[in-house]
Amino acid sequence: MREVAEAAGVNLGMFHYHFKTREAFLRAVLQGVYDEMYGQLSAAAASPVKARVHLERFRGALRFMGRFVRANRPVLARVIADGLCGDAIAVEFVRDNFPRHLGVLHAMIKAAQDSGEMRPLPLPQVMGFCAGSLAMPILFAGAAIDSGAFAPPMAEAVEEMLLSDRSLDERIDLALSALVLPAAKKRGAR
C-alpha cells in the first residue's frame, strides 16, 4: 500500500481514507479494469449488424478480448490463480463479473448460430473452444515468459509465436473456421 500511495503522490493516510483496507483497494482496481473492458465489448456488440455478418462481429469481439487478455495477463493470471486457491476477493470478482462478458459473447454466438453462420453447437462448448485456443496460450506463454522460464531468445520467439497480433488473429481464424457452417464458408468464398 505504501508503494501505491507513493506512486500516486499521496500520503498513506489518504490511501486509508479513500479505501480503508487493502481488500477494498484491490476490489476497486479490479472492477475499474473490468468495467472499462466490459464497456468496450458491450459497445462493439451493440453496433448495428447487416445480414450475414454476425460471425464477423464475433471475430471482432474475439480480437478485442485477445488483446485485452494479452495486455492484462499478469492481473488476470493472478485473479485466476487466487480464485483457484479460494481467495475471497478473487472468487467474488469472478462470480460477479465473468457472467457479464460471457453473456455478451453468448448472445453474439447465438446470433451467428441463428443466422446460419455458425454450427449449432452448445454455447459453452463454443465459448470453451474459443477461450482455449485464444486466451490459454496468452496466459500460459505470458506466465512462462514473465517467470523467466525461457532464455531471452526463446522468450522473444514464444512471444512472437503466441502473443503477437498476427498469432492472435491466426488462432481466431483457425477457431472460427472450425465453427463456421460449411454452407456459410461457401457463401463467404464468393
150 within 8 A of 158, measured Cβ to Cβ: yes
66 within 8 A of 138, measured Cβ to Cβ: yes
The answer as to whether 172 is a domain residue is yes
Cell 493472478, located at residue: 78
58 within 8 A of 108, measured Cβ to Cβ: yes
* CATH at residue 175: 1.10.357.10
Better-scored residue on pLDDT, 93 or 187 = 93
Query: What pLDDT score was predicted for residue 98?
Result: 92
The answer as to whether 181 is a domain residue is yes
Residue 161 Cα distances to 137, 154, 167, 169, angstroms:
10, 10, 6, 11
Indicate the SS3 state at residue 181.
coil
Closest CA to 101 of 53, 47, 45: 45
Distance CA 4, CA 127 (A): 36
The answer as to whether 9 is a domain residue is no
Q: Per-residue confidence at 52, pLDDT binned at 50, 70, 90?
A: low
pLDDT in tens, 68-119: 999 999 999 999 999 999 999 999 999 999 999 999 999 999 999 999 999 9
- The backbone torsions φ and ψ at residue 58, rounded to the nearest 5 degrees and listed phi first, read -65, -40
Closest CA to 44 of 76, 67, 72, 75: 67
Q: How many CB atoms lie within 10 A of CB 86?
A: 8
Q: What is the mean pLDDT of residues 24-29?
A: 85
The answer as to whether 45 is a domain residue is no
User: Domain total for the chain?
Assistant: 1
pLDDT at 188 over 70: no
The answer as to whether 80 is a domain residue is yes
First to last CA, the chain: 59
The answer as to whether 75 is a domain residue is yes
Distance CA 107, CA 121 (A): 14
The answer as to whether 144 is a domain residue is yes
pLDDT at 2 over 80: no
Q: What is the mean pLDDT of residues 135-143?
A: 93
For 177, the domain range is 52-189
